[in-house]
Structure 1
Amino acid sequence: MKFADNKSLWRWAIILGGLAITMLILWNTYIFFNKLKETERKNVEEFVTAQKDIINSGIDEDQNLGDLPLEVLGNTTNVPIILVNNVGEIETRNIPDHIANDSLRVQELIKEFASENEPIEFSLDGEVFTTTYHGNSSLITKLKYYPLALVLILFLFGAVIYFFYRSTKSSEQNKLWAGMAKESAHQIGTPLSSLVGWTVILRDSDVDPTYVNEMEKDIKRLQTITDRFSKIGSTPDLIKTDIVAQTLESTDYISSRSSKMVEFNIDVPDQPIEVHLNPQLYAWVIENLIKNGIDAMKGKGQIDVFLKADVHNVYLRISDTGKGIPKKLWKEIFRPGFTTKKRGWGLGLSLAKRIIEDYHSGKIRVLESKKDQGTTFELMIKKA
């Protein structure tokens, strides 16, 4: 318990530490962004000051408005700049030619720059002589998306850790269930051997043979269950088997031990159909599906078992007339631990899925289900 608590504390410490580091990086990025933006504005202000000094020094009015300030300032800034003088003339700097030559696009840039940064006005004799609009440099533009990229990377990293943790936990649970199943098989084996011995003694005694026969059937059944449990967690052997005969054997066993209020309708082909199968595990799947159907019908209703085949595959459908399954749960019911019963471990359908899909390379799904009308499960297994 103490180990589990420490493990949980370490997990939370790592999560909180990661969040703290993320916030620190984002905060420093924000500060750096503001300082860089401030530096660029100072560069633009120097540009405007140079303009002012040159104009105040008595430059000939015919001189191009932007040429001399650009020469004074040189190439010290990569900030995109648009200058608009008092008569509406426009000069641009650090703006591509194809945009600078498009008057409509320049007007759009003026509005965009004004929203990004406050325009700088240069007044002469009490009147605004030029207005300088400046945008963000390519560095600042890229830097704006850095926090978003960082958060996205951290989110993806967190998602990878989460799914890794989840898969690890699922793997541990699978090992636990497999261990429990094998141990159960081992524990059942001892009294089962004793029961076999007692049936031999009873046969030699003056006991009605039909009683002994029924006992032997149930002992055989327990041996089958023990065999199934012992196979969990290991890859079972698949042998070429007649799936028609195996389906009839499995359904006959459970129908003979079900309530008389449950009607069984079995529809299978007359000729054998061979598939690579583990008979014990296949029978377990059929019994699980039929028992779930009987539970859904509350012990009263109809179970239909229908088997058909095409050129490549064999299809088994098991239907009941129970309460049905909501469509949103059609996939959820195969998840280990999921159950709608008050008493249940939620392992039956998850084991059925594992047996059919992992061991037999087939498919199992809810084919159809309607409220208060019933559910149909479909299994698909390839022909041998």
Structure 2
Amino acid sequence: MRFNPPKKITNAVLLISAFVIVSLILWNTNSFFKKFKEEERHKMEIWATAQSELLSSPEDQELGNIYLKVFQNNTSTPMILVDADGSYKLHNLPDLDPADTLGIRQKIRRFSSENSPLEISYQEELLATLYYGNSEVLNKLKFYPIALLLIIFLFGAVIFFFFKTNKASEQNRLWAGMAKETAHQIGTPLTSLLGWNELLKEKSLTPEITDEIEKDIIRLQTITERFSQIGSKPKLEVADIVAETRDAYEYLQARNSKLVRFSFTPGAASVPVMLNPSLYQWTIENLVNNGIDAMKGKGEIAIEVIPENSWVNILVSDTGSGMPKNQWHRIFEPGITTKKRGWGLGLSLVRRIVEDYHQGKIKVLSSGKEGTIMQLSLQMHK
């Protein structure tokens, strides 16, 4: 099945059109540069011819005035005229000292690399040699394609990141839609299960059985509520984060293997924060389950609440094998996982809940052979 073929074709057409336009601009700029350089060469040849006539006919005052006007019209091209006796004459080089022979020689070498020198002769006698460089306009024009390519590169990077962000946004909307639809589909059988559980109670069954069934139904309702909040801004309320963390801790401890040892350090009697309890407990469960997976189902999980100034830090540590430091930031990206099996969505969802919904912080505090410590930080409510 094909998705959005017109959009893909449009993107391809836009990219090809941009490439063609850029190619035409570069080709036109290069052609203009060559033409301008040829015209400047022609101008220098005229200048050299005038210089030759002036040197060969110094007594003709009328011709001298004409040639002088030719010289005066050239105010942009830097030149060095080297007479047959080796003396120098500088034109349009205000920053070069005529007595600086070393600087003049360096400039001559540079001019020779830019343009072929012109020999000024009369009746096969060499009178002088003209060395000239590119004018200021030509130099600026020479770097124009480089500047244009840089702009194009930046423009291409912007387009790339735009398409990438747009694709990520579409994926986020897809996941949010799937989560809401899942919550909607689960809601109907849950209501039915509640009714059946009430009927079981009327049959005078062992209360422990129906109580446990009811607990699991309530748990499923909580999960449904969590999924229904994905993709929309959740409602926050003032809650005691110590109590909420303890509830998540007790639930996880009761439903995990005895091979996993749990410990909880509250750090304070109560700490009020703006919280969505359902999503917060989901965050703790994700962090704890990741730790249990890292320990391969055997080890120690420790949860600690540490109030610090206006923030409260929740540390979730495990005794697993840890992860390399270059993975500390990447594990929060969608699709990144250190497990052999997994979608890589758990920690990306955790970061979204903590940072986007609660304006908090989440990071890997430390990780190594002795285990990993995850730190979740939220601002206290004043």
Q: Shift of the alpha carbon at 1:346? A: 1.9
Q: Shift of the alpha carbon at 1:145? A: 1.1
The answer to whether the Cα contact below 8 Å between 1:92 and 1:100 also exists between their aligned partners in 2 is no
Alignment partners' CA distance in 1, 2:221 and 2:99: 87
Give the corresponding residue for 1:46: 46
Q: Shift of the alpha carbon at 1:68? A: 8.0
Matched, 1:99 2:96: yes
Matched, 1:14 2:14: yes
Q: Shift of the alpha carbon at 1:10? A: 2.7
Give the corresponding residue for 1:290: 288
Matched, 1:195 2:196: no
Unpaired runs of 5+ residues, structure 2, are none
Q: Secondary structure at the match of 1:286?
A: helix
The answer to whether the Cα contact below 8 Å between 1:84 and 1:131 also exists between their aligned partners in 2 is yes
The answer to whether the Cα contact below 8 Å between 2:52 and 2:127 also exists between their aligned partners in 1 is no
Q: Shift of the alpha carbon at 1:20? A: 2.0
Letter in 2 for 1:160: V
Match of 1:373 among 361, 370, 374: 370
Q: Secondary structure at the match of 2:16?
A: helix
Alignment partners' CA distance in 1, 2:189 and 2:70: 102
Matches within 5 A, 1:262-301: 262-301=260-299
Q: Secondary structure at the match of 2:11?
A: helix
Q: Shift of the alpha carbon at 1:136? A: 0.3
Q: Shift of the alpha carbon at 1:290? A: 0.5
Alignment partners' CA distance in 1, 2:211 and 2:45: 104
Matched, 1:28 2:25: no
Give the corresponding residue for 1:144: 142
Alignment partners' CA distance in 2, 1:52 and 1:245: 99
Alignment partners' CA distance in 1, 2:268 and 2:135: 80
Normalised to the residue count of structure 1, the TM-score between the two structures is: 0.93
Q: Shift of the alpha carbon at 1:101? A: 4.4
Matched, 1:89 2:70: no
Structure 1 stretches of 4+ with a deviation exceeding 6 A read none
Letter in 2 for 1:202: L
Give the corresponding residue for 1:213: 211
Q: Shift of the alpha carbon at 1:58? A: 4.8
C-alpha offsets along residues 328-351 of structure 1, whole Å, 9 cap, x if unaligned?
221111112222334322221111
The answer to whether the Cα contact below 8 Å between 2:318 and 2:373 also exists between their aligned partners in 1 is yes
The answer to whether the Cα contact below 8 Å between 1:320 and 1:374 also exists between their aligned partners in 2 is yes
Q: Shift of the alpha carbon at 1:30? A: 1.1
Give the corresponding residue for 2:233: 235
Q: Shift of the alpha carbon at 1:230? A: 1.1
The verdict on how the C-alpha distance between 1:162 and 1:198 changes in structure 2, with shifts beyond 3 A counting, is same
How many pairs were matched up? 378
The answer to whether the Cα contact below 8 Å between 2:237 and 2:275 also exists between their aligned partners in 1 is yes
Matched, 1:37 2:34: no
Matches within 5 A, 1:103-122: 103=100, 104-122=102-120
C-alpha offsets along residues 155-179 of structure 1, whole Å, 9 cap, x if unaligned?
1222222222222222222221111
Matches within 5 A, 1:297-336: 297-336=295-334
Q: Shift of the alpha carbon at 1:383? A: 0.5
Aligned-CA RMSD value = 2.1
Q: Shift of the alpha carbon at 1:5? A: 3.1
Q: Shift of the alpha carbon at 1:59? A: 4.2
The answer to whether the Cα contact below 8 Å between 1:239 and 1:277 also exists between their aligned partners in 2 is yes
Q: Secondary structure at the match of 2:4?
A: helix
Match of 1:163 among 145, 161, 170: 161
Letter in 1 for 2:196: W
Alignment partners' CA distance in 2, 1:102 and 1:225: 88
Matched, 1:382 2:349: no
Normalised to the residue count of structure 2, the TM-score between the two structures is: 0.93
Report which stretch shifted further, 261-270 or 238-247. Answer: 261-270
The verdict on how the C-alpha distance between 1:36 and 1:132 changes in structure 2, with shifts beyond 3 A counting, is same
C-alpha offsets along residues 167-209 of structure 1, whole Å, 9 cap, x if unaligned?
2222222221111111111111111111111221111223221
Q: Shift of the alpha carbon at 1:270? A: 4.2
